[in-house]
Amino acid sequence: MIKASGARAAGVDEVTDADFDTEVLGAARPVLVEFTADWCPPCRQLAPVLSAVAEEERDRLRVVQIDVDINPVITARYGVLAMPTLILFRAGEPVRSMVGARPKRRLLEEIADALL
């Protein structure tokens, strides 16, 4: 499901409680998931960074967002308490977790080892 929201990054799909396991855990390539909320200013700040990363790394990485307010099951499953939280999944497992907005260069550095 793709839904427009205030913190939505252009070119980044939105996943839900219903399709998370298929779209993220079952993905063939690494997936960077942003746990976000419409009311979250740092999430809006991170949106253009995620859009740029999704575009630049589209062959090696999928970037998706999940709205914590309407998807409580997945949010609770991964213990997300602050927004934005970014979790990088590879082969169905979370391999890196980051909290807070960050510049694109720093984000790419933090996830580089998972993209090899």
> Residue 35 and residue 66: Cα distance in Å, rounded?
5
Q: Which of 7, 12, 33, 40 is catalytic?
A: 40
Q: 67, 86 in Cβ contact below 8 A?
A: no
Please report how the helices 41-56 and 104-111 are oriented relative to each other, as an axis angle in degrees rounded to 10: 60
Q: Which of 12, 32, 43, 61 is catalytic?
A: 43
Write out the two tokens for 73. 């099951």
Q: Is 43 a catalytic residue?
A: yes
Q: Is 40 a catalytic residue?
A: yes
Q: Which residues are catalytic?
A: 40, 43
